[in-house]
Amino acid sequence: MTADSETAPAVLFTGFPGFLGSALLERVLARGDGPVACLVQPKYLDAARERAESIVSRVGGTDDWRGNADSDDWRGNADGGRTDPDGEHAAVHLFTGDITEPGLGLGGALGENGSLATVREVYHLAAVYDLGVDRALAEAVNVRGTEHVLDAAERLGVDRFHYVSTCYVSGRYEGTFTEADLRDHGPFTNHYEATKHRAEVAVRDRMEAGFPATVYRPSIVVGDSRTGETDKFDGPYNLLRLLLAQPRPLAVTFTVPGASRSELNVVPRNFVVDAIAALSEREASVGETYQLCDPDPLRVTAFVETLATAADRRRTVRVPTTKRVARAGCRLLSRAGVSVDPATLDYLDHPTRYRCPRTRRALDDCTGALAVPPFDAYADRLVEFVRDHPDRRDGPMA
């Protein structure tokens, strides 16, 4: 039977309890767009339950979250949901499943009388965010997974579909890349970029056929600009950890040919979440693509200097080298206990410049007129968070 209309999910999330997904879920609940169903891999179920409790508590409830079906069975199914014993309506429903499976591994929950039949809006954030991801895994999650979520959304007949892509669908495009660009791109640096490109093409193809989707493309996402909080230390954090591992009077970093001309485009998590929350409320955003990047980013050399200043490294020496030699150096550093991912080096001479004229106009029309804070205004908070959390992971959820 179909779940009661007052308790049944109206929104479906993938990518929970991930870094962006958790923060965005909180915003969606806070504005009253729930109840929300979250598709969770079984191995992350305990983390999802803990995070759901915390989120619901902050947005004004105490017990209004739950798993579907019996208390020992967290898999959504056609039997639908139940209300809590005290009669409170659940704000978050946890469904175990997997986007790499057709039907998302949800069985009858997507059917006409299933417990997700009431879903009208989908936020698809699940992906493998890893520069060194294996090709087979990237294909399964980023490409086929997105196609499966699209199929499920069409089967449900949703009114809105929000897809989180990445600026790096550009590949190594030489020039300025805006929201209007996609089909023309440079060669891809890795399987992450290539599969995210193919996934966005799949979304855009359905948009052209009338599917009500919106695409959001963050650049490199770092921690919260107010607190520095992040779930993992990857990307630019490799540079920061290299700096922090060295004595204060003098720090040595790599520089590769082209770094002085290349930009490193980063945005804090709170800006990305605020922007998606604001844009997703606008009916005019259906059919649009928004690039969530810094319109005035630092060049790589200035970025490293800003990090060094925030880390209180009094002098930084950049050693010119080739990427081949630098990769060998990264492997040696990792063996010495300083984790530096060689895949990060490809972004020190990245030729693409990201700009976002359409997004800036749209955000100017939103309440509060959102803007990206300059990196030097919050770099010290990122450094402080890294220092306070030395054991934070650097691997992806996959």
Structure tokens at 135: 């090709």
Strands 92-96 vs 65-67: parallel, antiparallel or unpaired:
parallel
Task: List the single range of 12-21, 43-52, 361-370 with lowest mean pLDDT.
Answer: 361-370
DSSP state of 258: T
DSSP code string of 75-96: ---TT-----TT-PPPSEEEEE
Distances (CA, A) of 289 to 25, 168, 292, 358, 366: 21, 14, 10, 8, 16
DSSP state of 213: E
Count the neighbouring beta carbons within 10 Å of the beta carbon of residue 191.
Answer: 20
Please work out, in degrees rounded to the nearest 5, the angle formed at the alpha carbon of residue 264 by the alpha carbons of 261 and 270: 155
Give the distance between the most distant pair of CA atoms in the chain.
68
List the 92-96 sheet strands across, edge first: 65-67, 92-96, 36-40, 11-14, 121-124, 160-164, 213-218, 289-292
Total residues found in the chain within this entry: 398
Mean residue pLDDT across the chain = 86
Residue 160, strand partner residues: 121
Q: For 7-25, what is each residue's pLDDT tens digit? A: 789 999 999 999 899 999 9
Give the per-residue pLDDT at 269. 95
DSSP state of 283: G
Q: For 223-276, what is each residue's pLDDT tens digit? A: 999 999 998 888 899 889 888 888 888 788 878 888 889 999 999 999 999 999
In this structure, CATH architecture of domain 11-223+266-292: 3-Layer(aba) Sandwich (3.40)
Please work out, in degrees rounded to the nearest 5, the angle formed at the alpha carbon of residue 23 by the alpha carbons of 20 and 28: 115
Give the per-residue pLDDT at 1. 34
